[in-house]
Amino acid sequence: MNRHDLEHVHPPFPELGEVVELFLETRAREGVLLYEKDGELHQEPLTRVPGGLRARVAVHASPFRYAFRLPQGYLGSHGLEKTLPRYDRFFHLLAGPLPPPWALGAVYYQIFPDRFRRGRPGLAPKEGAWRLGGKPIRTKAWHEPPGPEGAHEFYGGDLWGILEALPYLEALGVEVLYLTPIFQSPSSHRYDTEDYLRVDPHLGGEEALQALYAALEARGMRLVLDGVFNHVGATHPWFQRALQDPESPERGMFTFYPDGTYASFWGVKSMPKLDYASPLVQERFVFGKEAPIRRWLRLAHGWRLDVAHSLGEGGTNRKNAHWLRALARAAKEAREEALVLGELSYDPTPTLRAHTLDGAMHYAGFAHPVMEWLSGRDVQGRAVALGAEEAWKALWDHYQALPLQLRPAMYTFVSSHDIPRALWRLRGDEARFKLAYALLFAFPGSPAIYYGDEVGLSQPNPHSLWRGDPYCRAPFPWDEGAWNREILSFVKRLVALKKRHPALRLGGLWPLKAPKGVLAFRRRYGGEEVWAFFAPQGARLRLPRGVDLLAGEEVGGEVEASHLLFQPLS
C-alpha cells in the first residue's frame, strides 16, 4: 500500500525556493519523484528509509506539482495508474502565504445575525420602515417560523445578542464565529450591501462589533466576516449614480449592456455585479486603504468571500483566480494571520490549486455527497441512490485532489444558510443526524456547526421534498425547554474530541477496510491514530482492543455500531 499525506511534508508551509522532504509510505524498495518545472518533467531518485521512500526537492513554484513513479505504476492524486497521469492528477503543494495555524482543524459556528439572538430589541426595524423590491418589510415574533417572504422578514437579532451568547458558545467549545453579512443593507440576509463602511445600525453598528471583537479576543476565539465583493445592492449609492448618469465615474464599476440592462448575480437585478476590470473597483475593493477587506480586519480575523467562484471582469468570472489572489493578498497585508475562505459552490480544486485562497466551503467534496448518502436526496430534493462506497469515492477523490496544506483548513459542514438543515433533510431521524455530525468532526477539515443544529433546530413542513432558503433560517430557540439535550451533549463531545486529538484535527486520511455498506477511514498524526466507522443501518465490526472515544470506554472484539470513533491501543 502507498500512502502520502500532509503529515509527511516537512515543513508543511514552505516558502518559495525552500527545500522540502517528501515521504511516501510504501512497500516498494525503489522509485522516482517526478515534478514539473518550466514545462519540463524532472525526476529525483527516491531514497529507501524505514517505512518507505523519501526525496528532498526545492519548491520552485506555487503550485508545485509532483507524482511518484513506482515499479507498479505512477502514484498521483487519483491513486496508482499504469501510464503517466495528467498534471491535474498530480499531487499539489503550495508555498506560503497559506492558512494561518489557528485555522487548521478549527471548530466554527455559523450565525445568521438577524435570527440568532436579540440583545437590544429597540434596534430592530419597525414594521414597514422601508420597502424592499416594492414591498414593505415585515417584523416577526421570535417564535414564528420563517415564511416565503424571506428577505423581507426581520426578527431583530443583533451583534449585542451574539455578545450575550458568548458564554454559551464558549461552553460548546466553539473557536471561530462566522457571521453572514453585517454591513448596512435593506434585506434581512444583507447580501445586497448598500454601505461597506458601516456596520448595520439595526445590528448595533460599529460599537457592537468592537465590543464583540474585544470579547472574542479575551476568550481566545476568532471572528470571520462575510465579504460580499462580487456584487453590491441596487440601493448602493455607487450603483444608483451609475444607473442614473451614464457619464458618472461609477458607471465603469458595473457591466451595462447596449439595451440598458446590466450584469447581476444569478440574474437577480437587486444585486448588480462588480466589474474588476474597473480601476475604481480595484481601488475601492482591493488596493485602497479603505477597501473593506483591509479596513475591517482591525475588528475581525478573516473573511469568507461570497460567491467567490463568480467574481471577475466584464460581467463574468474572467480573471477570477487573479482577483481572488489579489483580495487574499490585501487581507494578509492588513493582518498577517488573516484567513480568507471562498464560497466555491462547485469544484473548488482548480481555484485552490491556483494558489488563491486559504480554503473553501466544502460543498462538492463533503456536504453534498454525505447528505446525499444519508438522506437519499440531493440538495434540490431529487432522489439519489448513493451507497457508502460511492460516498467514500467522492470524499476520497476531492480530498486527494486538494493542495496538501489546505485540507485541514477546508470549511466542512452539513447545514448552512443556503441549503436545507441536515435534521430536516433526514426527516427528523436523530440517529442519522448524529452520524452526519460524527462524520463531520471525524473528517479532515474545519467543522462548522450551523446555529441551532446543536439543539435540534429543524425547519417548517418536514414532509416537503425540499426547502432551503429561507426556511433554514429560523430563529434560535432560546427557551431551553425546546432544546434536544441529547443532541447538544453529543455535539459537545464531538467538539471536545476534535480539539483534544491531533489525529482528528491535523491528521492525514486513509481508507480502512470494513464490511459492505460501511464508510470507514482512519486518521493519523504524530503517532496517534483514530479509526472512524459509519453505517446508517448499523454494522457488526471486529476490532482490536481500543477505546470508543464517544463513549469513553474500552472495547474490542465484536462491536455493533452505526457510528464509531475508535482509538486502537498499542
For 282-326, the pLDDT digits (tens) are 999 999 999 999 999 999 999 999 999 999 999 999 999 999 999
Q: What's the predicted TM-score (pTM) here?
A: 0.96
Which cell goes with 157? 437579532
Residue 564 covered by a domain: yes
Categorise residue 205: left if φ over 0, alpha if ψ from -120 to 50, beta otherwise: left
**Which carries the bigger pLDDT value, residue 566 or residue 467?**
566
Residue 437 DSSP label: H
Q: How confident is the model at residue 14 (pLDDT cuts 50, 70, 90)?
A: confident
Indicate whether 242 and 118 sit together in one domain.
Answer: yes
pLDDT value, residue 518: 97
Residue 1 placed within a domain: no
Catalytic position from the list 194, 343, 454, 529: 343
Whether 403 and 538 share a structural domain: no
Mean pLDDT to the nearest integer, 361-386:
95
* Structure confidence at residue 252 (pLDDT): 98
Q: What is the DSSP pairing of strand 19-25 with strand 9-10? A: antiparallel
Query: Is residue 463 over pLDDT 60?
Result: no
Same domain? 373 vs 480 = yes
pLDDT of residue 2: 66
- CATH of residue 124's domain is 3.20.20.80
Mean pLDDT over 116-135 rounds to 97
Cβ-based neighbours of 267, under 8 Å, separated by 6 or more: none
Residue 529 catalytic?
A: no
Helix axes 388-401, 368-375, angle to 10 degrees: 180
Task: Specify the pLDDT at position 548.
Answer: 97
Which of 40, 61, 93 is a domain's end point? 93
Residue 117 has pLDDT above 60, yes or no: yes
pLDDT in tens, 477-522: 999 999 999 999 999 999 999 999 999 999 999 999 999 999 999 9
pLDDT of residue 1: 54
> Region 343-372: what's the mean pLDDT?
96
Q: Would you state the pLDDT for residue 48?
A: 96
Query: Tens digits of per-residue pLDDT, 48-91?
Result: 999 999 999 999 999 999 999 999 999 999 999 999 999 999 99
| C-alpha cell recorded at residue 442 | 471525524
Examine the residue annotation and report whether 453 is marked as an active-site residue of this protein.
Answer: no
Residues 60 and 165 in one domain: no
- Lowest mean pLDDT segment, chosen from 93-107, 274-288, 307-321, 428-442: 93-107
485, three cell numbers: 439535550
Q: For residue 176, is it within any domain?
A: yes
Give the rounded percent of residues in the chain with a pLDDT score beyond 90. 93
Q: What is the pLDDT of residue 3?
A: 64
- Write the pLDDT tens digit of every residue in 401-430: 999 999 999 999 999 999 999 999 999 999
Query: Which whole number is the average pLDDT over 372-392?
Result: 94
CA-closest candidate to residue 208, choices 156, 167, 162: 162
Is the domain of 49 the same as that of 111? no
Residue 467 and residue 482 in contact, taking contact as beta carbons nearer than 8 Å: no
| 530 and 425 in a common domain | no
**CATH code at position 68:** 2.60.40.10
Number of domains in the chain: 3
Q: Are residues 75 and 209 in the same domain?
A: no
- Residue 475: is its pLDDT beyond 60? yes
Position 460 scores a pLDDT of 82
CA-CA distance, 23 to 31, in Å (whole number)? 12
Query: pLDDT tens, 171-194?
Result: 999 999 999 999 999 999 999 999
Domain that includes residue 58, residue range: 6-93
Residues 492, 561, single domain; the answer is no
Query: In the chain, what percentage of residues exceed pLDDT 70?
Result: 96
pLDDT tens, 205-246?
Answer: 999 999 999 999 999 999 999 999 999 999 999 999 999 999
How confident is the model at residue 419, as a pLDDT? 95
327 phi-psi bin (left φ>0, alpha ψ -120 to 50, beta other):
alpha
- Is pLDDT of 11 > 60? no
152: in domain: yes
We report the CATH number of the domain holding residue 547 as 2.60.40.1180
Identify whether 34 is part of a domain: yes
Within this chain, do residues 11 and 135 fall inside the same structural domain, yes or no? no
Is pLDDT at 462 greater than 60 in this prediction? no
- The answer as to whether 321 is a domain residue is yes
Q: Tell me, what DSSP letter sits at residue 383?
A: B
Looking at 70, 93, 116, the residue that finishes a domain is 93
Confidence band, pLDDT 50/70/90 cuts, at residue 469: confident
Work out the pLDDT band at 10, boundaries 50, 70, 90.
Answer: very low
Mean pLDDT of the chain: 95
Q: Of the residues 74, 93, 112, which one is the last residue of a structural domain?
A: 93
Pick from 228, 221, 218, 278: which is nearest to 252 by CA?
A: 278
- The reply to whether 328 falls in a domain is yes
Regarding whether 348 and 239 lie in a shared domain, the answer is yes
Q: What is the pLDDT of residue 67?
A: 97
Q: Are residues 39 and 61 in the same domain?
A: yes
Residues 17-57 have pLDDT tens digits of 999 999 999 999 999 999 999 999 999 999 999 999 999 99
Q: Are residues 409 and 284 in the same domain?
A: yes
- The model's confidence at residue 5, banded by pLDDT at 50, 70 and 90, is low
